[in-house]
Amino acid sequence: MKRLMGAALAALCFSLPALAQDAALLARGKHLVEVTGACGNCHTPMGPQGPVAGQTLAGGTVFDEPPFRAVASNITQDPETGIGRWTDAQIARAIREGIRPDGRIIGPPMPIGLYRGLSDRDLAAMVAYLRTVAPVRNAVEASVYRIPLPPAYGPPVTSVPDPADNPVARGAYLANAVAHCMECHTPMVDGRNDFSRIGGGGMEFRGPWGVSVARNITPHANGIGGWTDAEIIRAITTGVSQNGRPLAPPMAFWAYRNMTPQELSDLVSYLRSLPPQP
Ligand code: HEC
Ligand code: HEC
């Protein structure tokens, strides 16, 4: 008996670091999905007060644009209407490569082009967290694309390392691969971002708020050139422009407000490093 207990205790001690590691991975995944990645900005139904309670990641939001009528998928663990039956690897491939288990491509506005840059560690964290999301039964209609979708967004992504450990590199990773700031804030030409003018703004968003236009967020006088760090951070986290004007959706201020001080200062370092766009 004593020996058995000893063995159980040893097993317990042995698994403690693993448990702590799992907890850290889950916490990271929750932060990526709910805060920096703001997946809910598209995947959670939005009411006038923001995300609808009890419907987290249940899908159904419609993006009605000339090239498509896309409907955000239910990405809860519901086995029938969500992704509860997908394996971890299948979920990971869908997020980073835009390919579903049955081979069908995931269309815009899901920002797959930028999610291809998600690091292996962050992708695993997202998948671990998605597994814990409460299943919500919500069958959503299929998207309709009037433009041809590519067979793939590029060659298979085998491995992506974490960004280099400096403010600009971390900020670039956050603004592109994770929060896809640059998908909205870079001008569109023929349905594609023109990254030679990264951060230049100009894209229009229609919704119940009317039309909002993504701003120039490069260090030009027309952008954030004359802004203080605190003003940039206030815009990202509270949706207030330099002159005090409230910013319209669809930027996910409601999620970004929980970014860490380090993430926000990394973002500022990155924005200040961009080539100024007129
Ligand atoms: C800008 C809006 C937008 C954002 C942000 C977004 N998605 Fe999506 N996502 C969509 C749309 C729209 C679809 C459905 C596209 C289609 O029908 O081809 C989709 C599809 C998916 C699918 C496929 C589900 C299925 O059943 O086929 C997964 C998985 C997914 N998204 C996960 C995520 C995760 C995780 C995040 C955050 C890291 C995220 N998405 C961020 C719009 C978005
Ligand atoms: C879904 C699209 C979208 C995403 C993603 C997005 N933004 Fe925005 N952003 C906008 C729009 C649209 C506006 C302008 C709203 C208005 O003028 O009312 C804006 C405004 C801003 C402003 C204020 C500029 C000004 O002149 O007032 C800053 C700064 C900003 N965004 C930075 C960011 C950063 C950093 C990220 C990523 C963490 C980000 N945005 C993600 C669409 C987006």
- Nearest-angstrom CA–CA distance, 77 and 129: 11
Residue-range domain boundaries for the chain:
7-46+58-145, 168-273
**168-273 is a CATH 1.10.760 domain:** yes
Cα–Cα distance between 174 and 270 in angstroms, integer? 9
- Identify which of 31, 35, 73, 146 to mutate to test ligand 1's pocket (most ligand atoms within 8 A of the CB): 73
Write the CB contacts of 120 (distance below 8 Å, at least 6 apart in sequence): 159, 160, 161
CATH fold for domain 7-46+58-145: Cytochrome Bc1 Complex; Chain D, domain 2 (1.10.760)
Diameter of the chain by CA atoms? 77
Give the pLDDT of residue 12. 55
Whole-model pTM: value is 0.94
What local confidence, expressed as pLDDT, does residue 42 receive?
97
* Ligand 2 centroid distance, CA of 274 (Å): 16
Residue 2's pLDDT is what?
46
Separation of alpha carbons 44 and 55, rounded Å = 6
How does the average pLDDT of the chain come out, rounded? Answer: 93
Same fold, 7-46+58-145 and 168-273: yes
Q: Side-chain half-sphere of 271: how many Cα atoms within 13 Å?
A: 31
Least Cα distance to 143 among 67, 256, 218, 76 occurs for 67
Q: Which of 42, 251, 268, 273 to mutate to test the pocket of ligand 2 (most atoms within 8 A of CB)?
A: 251
- Distance (angstroms) between ligand 2 centre and the Cα of 244 equals 14
Mean pLDDT by 10 residues, the chain (278 residues): 51 65 94 98 90 95 93 98 98 98 96 97 98 97 95 96 98 98 94 93 92 97 98 98 96 96 98 98
pLDDT value at residue 15: 66
